[in-house]
Each structure stands twice: as structure tokens, then as C-alpha cells.
């Protein structure tokens, strides 16, 4: 009974993912029914589109398929890109074009266009969501505060006449460092804190880099040893975030191993190797 419930839940999840919102799922199903109705008109294209959409949908929500993918191809299930095989757009386009063809009078057409637009906008989820839409602050696509710090880092590199300069800093800074200045070399990549190491790039990190990433994340705990770690990794600059110091109401140190405080820019503290 429990297994049955789990499988039903898996089918429901697969269908939700495939259709997206209940509204779009309903639109897709309605489209399939419309295609099935149209296929009786002996249109070969419509018939094949209907058959393909139906077969893919039935395969995707079938218990054996879900069992196999869940058990043996977990990576593929996580991607959920197999769901994109569903011809949602062609089905919706076909149905709308056929339905529009039926509207003859001008006022019918106006009503049709307005209701089609309203249906699509209400059935789906708008891309214009506040959390996913942030205005670009500059043409580097880097948050302005981070850009100011990066501009200073580039200045330091140029003052020292270095072609390349190894730096170690907070994630927010490291994320954009190479987009702004290709002369900045980082001690580890963004994939380490995004949780996707050893992807297509096949970079396998050594324990030293993994420890460094962890130390930067838990900076106050590892503060004393960070200077030594940076030196071992050959960093020219060590950059720390001010926030933990503010939170603990403690001043930031002037010396960290072999690194001395150079300056503070925005929310970052820059230490340089002696």
C-alpha cells in the first residue's frame, strides 16, 4: 500500500514537473484532447503529433519508467530534462492556431486573442518574478560593491607590475574576480562552494583547497591559521569580510601570519604578503 502511494506520488511529481503549473498541465492535456478530436479529421501531421505527445507523456509518468530512472539513473532524474521531450509548445501552438481559425468575425478574434493571452499568463508562472529579476548595476554584470573592490585589486596588481596575482577571498568576491580581471588567479573555483566539483571540468580539488574553502566560510574560527594557509597556497593577497568582525564587535587584526593589513575597501579587508 505504501509502495503504491509512493509511486502515485512519483507520478504526480513527474506530471507536475512536465506540465509545470496545474494551469499549463491542464492546457497541455486539453491540447492533447483537441488533437485527438482533430485527428479524426484524417490529418496525418496532427495524428503523429498527438501520438508522439501521448506516448512520451505516458512513458514519463509510467511506474516502470519512474522506477528505472529513480533506481538506476538518478542523475538523469535530477536533471528532469527528459521532461522537455514533451512537445508542450507545438501542441499549444497547434491548438491555438486551429481555434483561431474558427473565429471568423473581428470581435470574435479580439475576444479570442485577449482570452488566449489571459489564459497563458494566468496558467503559467511569469518570468517577471521579483526574486529572479535583478537589474544589472553595470556593464560587467557584477554587483557595484564587489566591482569597487575588484577595481582596487586590479590597481594593486598593476602597481606591482604583476601579470598574474594569486588571491584568496570571500565567495562573493571570488565569484566575480575572473570576470573582471583575468590576471587574478584564485586558489579554488566557484564549483567548490556551489557544490558541483568534478563536473565536466573534472577538476578534483586537493584537501588543502577544500580546507581553505571551509576555513573562509567559517572565517572567525580559523582566523589565526588563515595567514599560514594563504602563504602555503602562494597568495599575494588575502581578503576577508568585515561582517563577522562587526557581528562579534571585535576589531580586525593588523597582522595575520606573514600578511599585513593594507587597507579596507567597501566591506572587504585586504591583507598583503610581507
Partner 1 sequence: MAFLLPIYLITASYLCGRVLQGLFKKCKSSEHNNVPALPNAGETCLIGMFALLLLWEALVLPAIKLLLSFQLLTQIYSVLLLLICAKGAINCSREQGKYRFAPEQNWISTVSVLAFLVFVAQAVSYIFFYPDTNNDATVETVITTLSSDLIYENHPYMGSTFVYGITFRGKLVTLPLFYAYLQLVSASRAVTIVYRVAPFMSLLLNYTVYGIWIEQFTEHSKDRARMKALCFLVLGLLNLSGSFSHDSVFYYLIHKGFRGETIIFGAILPYVLYLCFRIFVHREYRKLLWLVMALAVTVPIADVQRGLLPCGICVVTMLLIVLIWEIGKKVKRK
Place of cell 588575502: 238
Judged by beta carbon, residue 18 or residue 253, the one nearer partner 1 is 18
DSSP 126: -
User: What is the grid cell recorded at 230?
Assistant: 594563504
Place of cell 492556431: 97
> Could you give the strand order of the β-sheet that contains 255-256, starting from the edge strand earlier in sequence?
184-186, 165-168, 237-241, 268-273, 259-265, 255-256
Crossing angle for the helix pair 22-39 and 106-123, to the nearest 10 degrees? 130
Under 8 Å between Cβ of 22 and 67: no
Report the chain's C-alpha Rg in angstroms.
Answer: 28
Q: How far is the CB of 147 from partner 1 (least distance, A)?
A: 12
Among 159, 161, 182, 247, binds partner 1 (CB under 8 A): 182
Judged by beta carbon, residue 27 or residue 253, the one nearer partner 1 is 27
- Candidate segments 15-23, 64-72, 214-222, 254-262, binder of partner 1 by CB under 8 A: 15-23
Q: How far is the CB of 217 from partner 1 (least distance, A)?
A: 17
Number of residues that bind partner 1 (CB under 8 A): 77
Cβ partners under 8 Å of residue 88, min gap 6: 19, 24, 28
Among 154, 190, 242, 273, binds partner 1 (CB under 8 A): 190
Residues 47-76 that bind partner 1 (CB under 8 A): 48-49, 51-52, 55-56, 59, 75-76
d(CA 54, CA 29): 9
- Candidate segments 61-69, 112-120, 154-162, 246-254, binder of partner 1 by CB under 8 A: 112-120
Q: How far is the CB of 67 from partner 1 (least distance, A)?
A: 18
Q: Binding to partner 1 by residue 105, rule CB under 8 A?
A: no
Q: Binding to partner 1 by residue 223, rule CB under 8 A?
A: no
Judged by beta carbon, residue 43 or residue 242, the one nearer partner 1 is 43
d(CA 236, CA 123): 54
Among 115, 125, 144, 264, binds partner 1 (CB under 8 A): 125
d(CA 75, CA 127): 26
Q: Binding to partner 1 by residue 200, rule CB under 8 A?
A: yes
Among 15, 36, 65, 140, binds partner 1 (CB under 8 A): 140
Under 8 Å between Cβ of 174 and 269: no
Q: Binding to partner 1 by residue 185, rule CB under 8 A?
A: yes
Among 71, 107, 134, 274, binds partner 1 (CB under 8 A): 134
Amino acid at each position: 500500500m505504501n509502495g503504491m502511494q509512493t509511486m502515485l506520488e512519483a507520478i504526480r511529481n513527474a506530471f507536475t514537473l512536465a506540465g509545470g503549473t496545474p494551469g499549463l498541465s491542464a492546457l497541455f492535456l486539453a491540447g492533447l484532447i483537441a488533437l485527438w478530436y482533430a485527428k479524426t479529421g484524417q490529418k496525418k501531421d496532427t495524428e503523429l503529433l498527438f501520438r508522439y505527445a501521448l506516448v512520451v507523456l505516458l512513458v514519463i509518468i509510467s511506474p516502470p519508467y519512474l522506477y528505472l530512472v529513480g533506481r538506476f539513473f538518478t542523475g538523469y532524474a535530477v536533471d528532469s530534462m527528459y521532461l522537455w521531450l514533451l512537445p508542450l509548445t507545438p501542441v499549444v501552438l497547434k491548438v491555438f492556431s486551429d481555434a483561431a481559425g474558427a473565429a471568423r468575425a473581428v470581435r470574435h478574434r479580439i475576444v479570442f486573442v485577449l482570452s488566449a493571452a489571459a489564459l497563458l499568463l494566468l496558467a503559467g508562472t511569469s518570468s517577471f518574478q521579483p526574486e529572479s529579476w535583478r537589474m544589472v548595476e553595470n556593464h560587467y554584470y557584477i554587483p557595484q560593491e564587489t566591482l569597487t573592490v575588484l577595481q582596487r585589486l586590479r590597481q594593486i596588481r598593476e602597481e606591482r607590475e604583476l601579470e598574474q596575482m594569486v588571491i584568496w577571498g570571500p565567495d562573493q568576491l571570488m565569484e566575480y574576480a575572473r570576470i573582471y580581471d583575468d590576471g587574478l588567479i584564485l586558489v579554488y573555483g566557484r564549483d567548490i562552494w556551489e557544490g558541483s566539483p568534478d563536473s565536466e571540468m573534472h577538476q578534483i580539488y586537493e584537501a588543502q583547497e577544500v580546507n581553505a574553502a571551509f576555513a573562509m566560510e567559517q572565517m572567525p574560527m580559523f582566523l589565526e591559521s588563515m595567514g599560514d594557509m594563504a602563504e602555503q597556497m602562494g597568495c599575494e593577497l588575502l581578503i576577508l569580510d568585515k561582517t563577522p568582525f562587526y557581528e562579534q564587535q571585535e576589531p580586525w587584526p593588523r597582522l595575520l601570519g606573514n600578511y599585513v593589513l593594507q587597507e579596507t575597501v567597501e566591506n572587504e579587508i585586504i591583507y598583503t604578503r610581507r
